[in-house]
Amino acid sequence: MPGLPADHELFARAALPTYDCPADAGLRLLSLSENATYLVSPPADEPFVLRVHRPGYHSLAAIESEIAWMSALRSQTSVRTPELITARCGRQVVTATVDDRTLHVDAVSFVPGRTAEEAPDAVGFQALGELAALMHEHALTWAQPSGFTRFRWDMDTMVGPQGRWGNWRDAPGLTSSDNDSIDRALAVIAGRLAGFGTGSDRFGLVHADLRLSNLMVDPDSPGTGITVIDFDDCGWSWHLADLGAVVSFIEDTPAAEQIVSDWLRGYQRVRALPDEHIAMVPTFVMIRRIQLTAWIGSHPDADAAGTIGPDYARGTARLAERYLVDDSWLS
C-alpha cells in the first residue's frame, strides 16, 4: 500500500497560501499515521490543523464525504468535532503540488487540550459511550449528500489477507503456532459475525477508529468534554466496532474490561443493546486486535507502531487463545 512521501512537509507548506497563510508559517508535525497532521501557527491568526493525505488511500469524493459527516455531527448533534476551515478558493479539500506530484490537503480548527491517550484519567468512558451512540443514531437518519462514499469495514477488509491495513501474518514476532491460534480465532469470529448479520440496528456508518489518540480532552477545563477527531477511517461497519477501537492496544488488560463496562453503560443511555449484541463484544474487541496487528506490520513508520514491539503480535495470539476458551472475558 502506498505511503506518504518522505518530504510530506513540502506538501503542507505548498498548501499554506491557499489558506491565506505564508509558506514560512510555523509548522509542527502532530502525528504521522495514514496521513501527516500539522499544527499551523500563522503570525497573526489563530492556529489551525492541516492534514496531508497519503496517495491512493481515499478519493477526493471519499474525503469530502468524511468531512460532510464530521460537519453534520458538529451542527446537528451535541457531538463535538473540529470545525472545517474552507480554503480561500472555497474548496473543502485542496491539492498541493510539489514538482510534478500532488496530494490532497484539508484543514480544521485547532482543538486545545491533549489527546485522551496523553490524559486517560480525564476521559469519562460512559460519556464516550453516549457520544458513540449519538453518532450511530445520527447516521441512521442523516440524509447523506449526493455522491457520499466511504469504506466498508467487514471481515475481509479488516482481517483478510488483502485487508485494508495489511495482512496480520506480516506482523513482527509471530510463530507458526501463533498463526494457528489466530487462524482458529478468526474461524470462530467469521461464524459469529455471519450469524450476527448486518441489519440496520447493528451495522451502519461508524467512526471506525475511536481510540484514545483520536479523542481530545482538556484536563484544565473538564466541563469542555470530549472532542472526536480524525474521521479518516469512518465508514460502514458494525456499531460495536467502535467499542473495539476504544481499547486499542490495551485489549488484554484489566483497564480494558472496566472501559468496556463503562462505555456500554453510557451507550445504553441513548441506544438499547439487546443481549445478542452485548454477547458479541469480545468478538469485536478480538477482531480489532487482529486488525491492529496487521496495521503495525504494514505501518512501521507510523507513530504508534514505533512504540510497539513484537510482544504485541505475540500477545494477539495469546488473546486469541483466551477468546476461544474463556467465556468470562469481557462478560
Cell numbers at 97, concatenated: 503540488
Do 303 and 217 lie in a common domain? Answer: yes
Please answer whether residues 150 and 235 qualify as being in contact, where contact means their C-beta atoms are separated by less than 8 angstroms. Answer: yes
Do 53 and 139 lie in a common domain? Answer: no
* pTM of model > 0.85: yes
Do 26 and 175 lie in a common domain? Answer: no
Do 69 and 185 lie in a common domain? Answer: no
CATH number, domain with residue 133 = 3.90.1200.10
Do 224 and 283 lie in a common domain? Answer: yes
Query: Would you say residue 331 lies in a domain?
Result: no
Query: Domain end: 78, 110, 142, which one?
Result: 110
Terminal-residue alpha carbon distance, the chain = 37
Query: Domain end: 110, 140, 158, which one?
Result: 110
- Classify each residue of 78-94 as buried b or exposed e, where b means 16 or more C-beta atoms within 10 Å of its C-beta: ebbbbebbebeeeebbb
Give the structural domain span for 286: 115-325
Do 71 and 140 lie in a common domain? Answer: no
Query: Would you say residue 1 lies in a domain?
Result: no
Tens of pLDDT, residue by residue, the chain (331 residues) = 568 999 999 999 999 999 999 989 999 999 998 899 999 999 878 999 999 999 989 999 999 999 999 999 999 999 999 999 999 999 999 999 999 999 999 999 999 999 998 998 888 899 999 999 999 999 999 999 999 999 999 999 999 999 999 999 999 899 999 999 999 999 999 999 999 999 999 999 999 999 999 999 998 887 788 999 999 999 999 999 999 999 999 999 999 999 999 999 999 999 999 999 999 999 999 999 999 999 988 876 665 655 676 799 999 999 999 999 999 999 8
Please answer whether residues 293 and 158 qualify as being in contact, where contact means their C-beta atoms are separated by less than 8 angstroms. Answer: no
Per-residue DSSP letters for 155-221? HHHHHSTT-TT--GGGSTT--HHHHHHHHHHHHHHHHHHHHH---TTTEEEE-S---GGGEEE-TT-
Do 78 and 215 lie in a common domain? Answer: no
How many domains does the chain divide into? 2
In angstroms, the CA 66 to CA 61 distance is: 9
Do 258 and 132 lie in a common domain? Answer: yes
Dihedral (Cα; 226, 38, 83, 154), 10-degree rounding: -70
Please answer whether residues 234 and 198 qualify as being in contact, where contact means their C-beta atoms are separated by less than 8 angstroms. Answer: no
Do 204 and 267 lie in a common domain? Answer: yes
Query: Domain end: 56, 84, 110, which one?
Result: 110
In angstroms, the CA 49 to CA 91 distance is: 16
